[in-house]
Structure 1
Amino acid sequence: MSKKGKIYITLTVLTILAIVALEMTKPKAVNWFPSYALHHKIPFGSYVFNEQLQRVSDTVISVDRPPFEYLKSNTISGTYLFYNDGIAFGKQELNNLLDWVSKGNTLIVSAVDFEKKLLDTLHLKTKSVNIMGNFNNEYQVKLVNPLLDTESTFKFDRSTTFFHFNKIDTTNTTVVGFIDKYRGENTSIKDSLINIIKQPFGGGEIILNTFPQAFTNYFILNSPNQNYTAGLMSYINTNQPIYIDNYYKTGKKFYTSPMYLFLSTKSLKWAYYIMLIGVLIYIIFEGKRKQRAIPIVKPLKNQTVDFTRTIANMYYENGKHKDIAQHKTQHFLEFIRNTMHLSTSEINDSFIKNLAARSNNSIEDTHTLFKLITSLNQKSSINNTELERLNTLIEQFKSNN
């Protein structure tokens, strides 16, 4: 082998080792999979809810079988709790559940939407929440029972589809909670949409909730949201057994796939990846010897940066400093919304304190920056010095983040 070939092989091996080292040391990405499984500690698992329910209830039973089969083979009483993104009972299974409820038991179903037969039985209709004007997909929920904290609203800020009850049987239905698009801090819910209802059924009762995220780790661990979930569970008699469905869950407790078992072990996973990289290198070097040289076609040059720079220089040379400042300010506010997750609809002392705390900037520096932005917005024209000062303060603010 030539000296040049040995150098190539050495560089390849070092590159592979560097990639492996970087991959093994980098932080693990957050898993946003909507699992709802009791044993999952990921954001949309329900490990925390299960732990807290075990503390306050005398008997909590996890049911891993279909309710049709479980009710048929067991004589039980108490509360049967279902929550998941989607739950669809079969016709006979739903009839069995309703018969069980009519004997004095409680059925709670929490899902994004419900099957038509269940809604028709309770004389209900649902409709998706209009997201127009709610570009950040932020919502707030609230309970209405006067014995609970009815003054507080609780925020949920992950992108999702929400449904509400747009038709209810007013003679038999009790409204338990509302949902609405999030309108910012210290604001009340207006034009609230019903998302939790309770109805008597025979000798028991049925509670339907279109907000299953209330049982997830992500929602409960964002204080004070735990009070909302606790208020929701106050409708359950904890002195009787609580049966939590673990069958209609997106997340599975057991995985039978050989590849999942193989890749779940870190050392085996990286051995598998290194083998694939080795096979790829072999194909590249062997293919290079046997195939004809492929001519290199240079891709078209990306002119986006040059175009942007040209437009910016044109604005600057024509003395349109006011326009540049406005664009700079709008990009900065967008940066705050996306990075700091703060609403910029109202700039006040509370907003400045929150922004300073989240961005590692002092309150004085943050106040100075927004005071300058307000001052420039009120002017019809600005000069070079004011524009440069605005740019300097914004860049200093971002560098501390």
Structure 2
Amino acid sequence: MGKPQKLLFTVLLILLGFLVYLEATKPLPVSWFPSYSKEDKIPLGTYILHENLKSKFSESFIEVNEPPFQFINSNPETQGTYVFINNTVIFDEEEAKELFAWTAKGNTLFLASKNYSNFLLDTLNLEINNIYLFDKFETQPLLTLVNKHLNPDKSFHINKSFTIPYFEEIDTSSQVVLGFSQAFEKEIKKESRKVNFLKIPFGEGELYLYNQPEIFTNFFLLEQENHIFTENVLSYINNESTIYWDNYYKTGKRINTSPLKVIFNNKSLKWAYYLILFGALLYILFEGKRKQRVIPVINPIKNKTLEYTQTIAGIYFDKKDNKAILNKLIRQLFDYVRVQLRLETNEADSRFIEELAIKTNTPKEEIKSLLNELRQLQNKEQITDKELISFHEKITQLKINRDGKP
């Protein structure tokens, strides 16, 4: 590698290192993706809640990574509380029936979501709507609980705009209201509260529905005393039962489809990978050349067709056999007409003259003159140099008219 190449390589390497440093130290934008995954530490992940529940319940905390239908069928003796937390929990009909049957056996089903399947809502005779403020674009939830032992007069404010789902009509004979939600305003009015937390007895078990899953996220739990409200909501779960934490119905569920996913999910590994690729590219550019003696340039064989033609022509001229040269000119002319112009040369009639004139862009009179001269020269015993040259020039002009060159 020469000095200029080494200098260029060094400059590129310094620039790349500087770009990597800038990219690595650039603060990442906050992601508000509604992940609800236990692995995510972003605002709407559930890393903090998951770690706390796992620590509190220890061996009674079991994570489920498969669909609930499959899990319950594989473990028919399962008993406890099945917890689903996500922005959307949509069970199909068969799965919902399986969960209802499992709940009716004396188990607890806890659903925290903004959207449920139509089958589930129809079965429970529920309808969901959202709270709107006509004078504002944003709606910040303000949450309360009913139980007098759980600070019913204290409201918890989510200091960010989220949709606020609530249950339209409640059958108080079979459904128990546990909590309310409303949009945060300067003047809080109790009459504007809407039901967002229900307990529904189901067979020998219980079903809980909570419509503001954001209270279980990292963002909410890190704000002041918000963790108290989350603890109060979860206090309805039996502490002595086994907790089954769902990892399947998660928007931010990890799906590993590529061997490189681990590398790209880690910032340091990702940039190390890019550096290796860039280094390999530089190596190919500067060191991938063959290191051997210079291959000598071999000039192509010189085309001596012209010399050969001049030699043959010289022989004919030396012999003064103009008649033989004429015959070759005539033969070449007819070959040209047949091969290049695709015309039959058997008869030089008016049709032939007209087609030849069209294809060579030559007036018919000149074509007739050329053919007449051809016949006259064929009938002569001796051909002068002047006649031969004149005939050759007319043939050349014919080709120039068509091809632009002789």
TM-score range, shorter chain: 0.5 to 0.7
* CA offsets 1:179-200 (integer angstroms, 9 cap, x no match): 111114x856550111111111
Give the CA deviation at 1:13.
Answer: 5.4
Q: Against the structure 1 CA distance between its residues 136 and 11, is the aligned structure 2 distance closer, same or farther, given a 3 Å change threshold?
A: farther
Matches within 5 A, 1:218-257: 218-253=219-254, 255-257=256-258
For 2:45 and 2:28, the matched residues in 1 are separated by 17
Cα shift at 1:262 = 2.6
Q: Please name the residue that 1:144 is paired with.
A: 146
Q: Which amino acid aligns with 1:66?
A: P
Question: What is aligned with 2:302?
Answer: none
Q: Distance in 2 between matches of 1:111 and 1:211?
A: 6
- Are 1:97 and 2:99 matched, yes or no? yes
Paired residue for 1:119?
121
What is the distance in 1 between the residues matched to 2:281 and 2:129? 51
**Contact 2:92/2:117, CA 8 A, preserved across alignment:** no
The question of whether the paired residues in 1 share the 8 Å contact of 2:132 and 2:139 is answered with: no
Amino acid at match of 2:231: A
Work out which of the two has the higher radius of gyration on C-alpha atoms and give 1 or 2.
2
CA contact (8 A) 1:153 1:188 kept: no
Query: What is the Cα deviation at residue 26 of structure 1?
Result: 2.6
Q: 36-45 vs 268-277, which deviates more? A: 268-277
Q: Is the CA contact (8 Å cut-off) linking 1:56 and 1:238 kept in structure 2?
A: no
Q: Contact between 2:91 and 2:116, CA under 8 Å: does it hold in 1? A: no
Partner deviation per Cα, 1:295-353 (whole Å, 9 max, x = no partner) = xxxxxxxxxxxxxxxxxxxxxxxxxxxxxxxxxxxxxxxxxxxxxxxxxxxxxxxxxxx
C-alpha displacement at 1:225, in angstroms?
Answer: 0.9
What CA deviation, in whole Å up to 9, does each residue of 1:12-34 have, x standing for no partner?
A: 65544322211122334333322
**What is the CA distance between 1:275 and its match in structure 2?**
7.4
Structure 1 match to 2:23 = 23
Show the counterpart of 2:62: 61
Structure 2 counterpart of 1:181? 183
Segments of 5+ residues of structure 2 without an aligned counterpart are 283-406
Q: SS state of the match for residue 44, structure 2?
A: coil
User: 5+ unaligned residues in a row in structure 1: which ranges?
Assistant: 282-401
Structure 2 counterpart of 1:52, one-letter code: N
Bigger mean CA deviation after superposition, 218-227 or 16-25:
16-25
Over 3 Å counting, the alpha-carbon distance change for 1:23 and 1:237 in structure 2 is same
- Which residue does 1:258 correspond to in 2? 259
Aligned pairs (5 A) from 1:320-335: none
Q: What secondary structure does 1:80 align onto?
A: strand
Which of 108, 111, 133 is matched with 1:109 structurally?
Answer: 111
Determine the C-alpha separation between the residues in 2 that align with 1:6 and 1:53.
Answer: 58
Distance 1:51 1:266 in 2: 24
TM-score, structure 1 length as denominator?
A: 0.62
Alpha-carbon shift at residue 271 of structure 1 (Å): 4.3
Residue aligned with 2:192, SS: coil
Q: Secondary structure at the match of 1:43?
A: coil
Specify the code of the residue in structure 1 equivalent to 2:151: D
User: For 1:213-237, what per-residue CA distance to the aligned partner results, in whole angstroms no more than 9, with x for missing partners?
Assistant: 1111111121211111111111111
User: Percent identity between the aligned chains?
Assistant: 39
CA distance in 2, matches of 1:271, 1:27: 19
Assess if the C-alpha contact under 8 Å between 2:197 and 2:211 holds in 1. yes
1:1-400 equivalence runs, <5 A: 14-57=14-57, 59-74=60-75, 75-184=77-186, 187=188, 189-253=190-254, 255-273=256-274
Cα distance, 1:39–1:17 mapped onto 2, change above 3 Å: closer
Aligned partners of 1:134 and 1:182 also within 8 Å: no
Q: Is the 8 A contact 2:199 2:208 kept in 1?
A: yes
- How far off its partner does 1:132 sit? 3.0
Q: Contact 2:139–2:164 at 8 Å: present in 1 too?
A: no
Q: Give the CA deviation at 1:11.
A: 6.5
Q: Which whole-Å deviations, capped at 9, do the CAs of 1:271-308 have from their partners, x for residues lacking one?
A: 45457889999xxxxxxxxxxxxxxxxxxxxxxxxxxx
Amino acid at match of 2:134: M
SS in 1 for 2:84: strand
For 1:25 and 1:111, the matched residues in 2 are separated by: 36
Helix, strand or coil: the match of 2:88?
coil
Distance 1:267 1:193 in 2: 47
Alpha-carbon distance in structure 2 between the residues aligned to 1:114 and 1:266: 36
**SS of 1:167 mapped into structure 2:** coil
Amino acid at match of 1:29: P
Q: Give the aligned CA root-mean-square deviation in angstroms.
A: 3.0
Equivalent pairs, count: 281
TM-score normalized by the length of structure 2 = 0.62
Secondary structure in 1 aligned to 2:89?
coil
Q: Contact 1:137–1:157 (CA<8 Å) still a contact in 2?
A: no
Deviation of 1:89 after TM superposition, in Å, equals 1.0
Tell me, yes or no, if the aligned pair for 2:131 and 2:164 is still in contact at 8 Å: yes
